[in-house]
Amino acid sequence: TPRAHVGAAAGRVGLLVTGSDKARRVRAALLGALDPLRIPVQLVRPAEDPVWIVDRAAASLLEGTT
């Protein structure tokens, strides 16, 4: 779980997510409403957009979205 103060201080943040058990969280983090109490990664606000490295299983609920 990321810490907000680390994300705020970083110029670039990379997030590595693997496994089908993370698919709903990835979808919520990227496409859902802002709810950092439920989805702590939304607290990360680096200077540049974060880089998401997501395996096929974790990205399975993103198919068909742009």
Give me the amino acid identity at 38. R
pLDDT of residue 20: 97
Identify each DSSP E strand in the chain by its residue range.
14-17, 51-54
Token reading at 12? 């670039």
19-56 confidence digits (pLDDT tens): 999 999 999 999 999 999 999 888 887 778 889 999 99
* DSSP 8-state symbol, 6: H
pLDDT of residue 32: 93
Q: Which residues contact 31 (CB under 8 A, 6 or more apart)?
A: 62, 65
pLDDT of residue 9: 63
